[in-house]
Amino acid sequence: MKVLKNNKEIVAFCKVLRERASGSSPEIEPRVKAILDDVRKNGDRAVFNYTKAFDFQDVKRLRIMPHEISRYARKADKNGVKALEFSASRIQAFHERQKEESWSFSEKDSLLGQVIRPLERVGVYVPGGKASYPSTVLMNVIPAQVAGVKEIALCVPAPKGEINPYVMAAIKMLEVREVYCVGGAQAIGAMAYGTETVKKVDKIVGPGNIYVATAKKMVFGEVDIDMIAGPSEILIIADDSADPAFVAADLLGQAEHDELASSLLITSSKRLADAVDKEIRRQLAALKRKEIAGKSIKNYGAILLTKDLKDAVELSNLIAPEHLEIMTEEPMNVLPMIKNAGAIFLGKWTPETLGDYSAGPNHTLPTGGTARFSSPLGVYDFIKRSSLLWFTKNGFMKLAKTVKTIASIEGLEAHQKTITVREGL
């Protein structure tokens, strides 16, 4: 694993990470645009064609009916289903606390407030390429249900016709009844524009490969999206008290996602850096996905040596990681200094994997430095807010002069007229 000691090396490496996470590709964008245009124009026929071409599946219909979901779900191991049920209960409990309520307050002759309503229809994308993710079903569907979304359409690809029973078990558990066997940019297009089979949604959420991410970026404005999710990443701030085996395991846990995943350790301890480097090599050799994890560690993994803990925190805030683990002797003392992170994991007994599956907080997090300005997926992503205003004539008159003055400053005569036409009554 690369060990970077001076600022020049660290700055250069951070630039590489930013470029990797940009999510743009001059080669891919025209292909995705062509797919989206085709789906918008030709609907189901285009989706069928791309499903056959990319997933090697000649489907006759897009929708997986509820009885088929149940049939596939029965193939899932009972222990696996119990684990999903346990995780779902924790995710539900966490997200229930994010609910927002409508509010208002009265002044003399006026009432002001905010009305909270759920989105009416949401599309959820669940990846199904290199791996299948029932946890993604839980993390994207549950907050939408807690928010009160009535219609949830879920798209999941089935390469070569293979449908994952645990994904189906999660879908059945949450009673999602509108499920489509379609993936890639064509799934995003179907949900964004609507087809003969798939009704248009208001918002699309869920992770995917670069084609999916690019498609979501292109349909934004036609519909809302959660975020442009880039490759996954972890950053660990650790001092000399950290266990090298724990640190190495957590770095590799992220690296096995895919070759573009980023795993970083920032520490001021040369002893820890050397020990973690050795542990990485030892643990990597035993991994089933060692080829993927190895490429990730080689290209986007690094140990960054800083002068002290303060410098480590400053560097972490600059990177703004998706997952931040703090493995220091007193992690709670470090927490107030953290400004930018998607999720923060405190102490050696809180590996990032807990957050992936069963802890409760959402695992759909901002990547590529966007934790500087965005947040984890939550109930608040599935609601809309309307401002509420009501004035009596007396309340209107109290504001009339001020409003006319500002309208005059802005040169908007018709705005002034809306006031003057009422003042004489």
The sign one gets for the Cα dihedral 405, 407, 412, 416 is negative
Query: Which is the catalytic residue, given 233, 322, 325, 352?
Result: 322
Active site residue 196: no
Q: Which H, E and C letters describe the chain, residue by residue?
A: CEEECCHHHHHHHHHHHHHHCCCCCCCHHHHHHHHHHHHHHHCHHHHHHHHHHHHCCCCCCCEECHHHHHHHHCCCCHHHHHHHHHHHHHHHHHHHCCCCCCEEEEECCEEEEEEEEECCEEEEECCCCCCCCHHHHHHHHHHHHHHCCCEEEEECCCHHHCCCHHHHHHHHHCCCCEEECCCHHHHHHHHHHCCCCCCCCCEEECCCCHHHHHHHHHHECCEEECCCCCCCEEEEEECCCCCHHHHHHHHHHHHCCCCCCEEEEEECCHHHHHHHHHHHHHHHCCCCCHHHHHHHHHHHEEEEECCCHHHHHHHHHHHCCCEEEEECCCHHHHHHHCCCCCEEEECCCCCHHHHHHCCCCCCCCCCCCHHHCCCCCCHHHHEEEEEEEEECHHHHHHHHHHHHHHHHHCCCHHHHHHHHHHHCC
Amino acid occupying residue 71: R
Query: Which is the catalytic residue, given 323, 325, 352, 363?
Result: 323
Amino acid occupying residue 328: T
The string over 196-209, giving b where at least 16 C-beta atoms fall within 10 Å of a residue's C-beta and e elsewhere, is eebeebbbbbbbbb
Q: Which of 217, 278, 283 is nearest to 254 (CA)?
A: 283
The structure tokens listed for 387 are 């401002």
Beta partners for residue 389, in sequence order: 112
The string over 406-420, giving b where at least 16 C-beta atoms fall within 10 Å of a residue's C-beta and e elsewhere, is ebeeeeeeeebeebe
Active site residue 257: no
The structure tokens listed for 179 are 């499920």
Q: Which residues are catalytic?
A: 322-323
